Amino acid sequence: MSKRFLLLTLVGLLVLSIAPMLAVAQDDDTITIGFLPGVVDPFYQVMEIGVRQAVEDSALPVELVVQIPENFNPSVQTPILDALVARGDLDYLIIAATDKEQLIAPLQAAHDAGIEIISVDTFIGDGDYVNGPVTFPLSYIGSDNVEGGRIAAEALAENVGGTGKVYIQNVTPGISTTDQRAQGFREGIAEFPDMEVVSEDFNNDDENTSVQQTSATLERESDLVGIFGTNVFSANGAGIAVQNAGLSDAVDVIAFDATTFAVEQLRAGVVSLVIAQKPFDMGYLAVQFAIAHNQGVSSLPKRVPTGYAVIDIENVDDPEVARFIYQVE
Ligand code: T6T
């Protein structure tokens, strides 16, 4: 055997023996992040754009696993979460929990399996990840929803001259965000002695249900002056019902979430205020938090409120405001 052949054989054997180690080393460097939002809607679609942009901008290798539930429901979201944990490769999970109590145990199990949890949009427990009953998630990045409800109440009260009956079109009890929006709204309306919240309905995140419930309320409460729609489908349905009843001049609608449909209704005079959240920022920051944590940053804030853009007919064409409309195309 020639010396040259012997040398090549030895190098070949060496490469073969360390190749698996090299592969493992490469895998270990990749940060694997799961993204599990609440449902398919324009709000979470924009959040996903933010998530993907942050992954693209990352100087470090990131693998992203996205799973989107068909319905906004903990019994749909939990098995998807369990399956993500069962993959065994996630380092981080960015999740909008669809129920503040029911998702605690499955997320605790994910955390026990070694996955770091970042809450976006919604929280679990009471959302206080420093002193509250649930502290294991790394952070809660999302709107201040009590404040959002108060913004809605103050605008509505001003529009109707501080007097009259109002109605809340809501999603499902137990969702942290929409519970807090209704709470903030009720607190805001309570400051006006001549105003009253006559009722609140829950549409289970279904626009048609929102239309039906709002239409029934409009028939029952002939002197209703305003409606707060607490999210995309609640607000869409409320607006459609008011429009169908020909009551756009008599009933003021405040829409939470800046879909293009809500903005159309603003221009049509059905909706008077559109409250835009910042889902892109939520998604982008969440990925950056995961990467920072992976790199050893140990003092990430446990709560990051992302703020609002409040859109009305006066400012809807201002590019600095219009950029917060949820554009998904
Ligand atoms: O309003 C958002 C989100 O903040 C909420 O938690 C659930 O509903 C939306 O996704 C809008 O449909």
Pairing of strands 271-276, 309-311: antiparallel
Q: What pLDDT is recorded for position 329? A: 77
With bands split at pLDDT 50, 70 and 90, how would you rate the model's confidence at 230?
very high
Residue nearest to atom 9 of ligand 1 (CA): 231
pLDDT tens by residue, 91-100: 999 999 999 9
Give pTM, 2 decimals: 0.92
Q: How far is the CA of 145 from the centre of ligand 1 (A)?
A: 11
With bands split at pLDDT 50, 70 and 90, how would you rate the model's confidence at 28?
confident
User: Is pLDDT at 155 greater than 70 in this prediction?
Assistant: yes
Q: Which atom of ligand 1 is nearest to the CA of 145?
A: 4
**Ligand 1 close to Cβ of residue 34 (< 6 A):** no
Q: Which domains does the chain have, with CATH numbers?
A: 3-143+277-307 (3.40.50.2300), 145-276 (3.40.50.2300)
**Ligand 1 close to Cβ of residue 177 (< 6 A):** yes
The pair phi, psi for residue 179, each rounded to 5°, is -60, -45
User: Is pLDDT at 16 greater than 50 in this prediction?
Assistant: no
Residue nearest to atom 7 of ligand 1 (CA): 231
Q: How far is the CA of 232 from the centre of ligand 1 (A)?
A: 6
Q: What is the share, in percent, of the chain residues with pLDDT greater than 90?
A: 91
For 257: left if phi > 0, alpha if psi spans -120 to 50, otherwise beta; the answer is left
**Ligand 1 close to Cβ of residue 41 (< 6 A):** yes
**Ligand 1 close to Cβ of residue 98 (< 6 A):** no
User: 14 or 284: which carries more pLDDT confidence?
Assistant: 284
User: Is pLDDT at 115 greater than 70 in this prediction?
Assistant: yes
Mean residue pLDDT of the chain comes to 93
The least confident of 21-25, 101-105, 254-258 is 21-25
Residue nearest to atom 10 of ligand 1 (CA): 43
Spatial distance between the Cα atoms of 61 and 33, rounded to a whole number of angstroms: 11
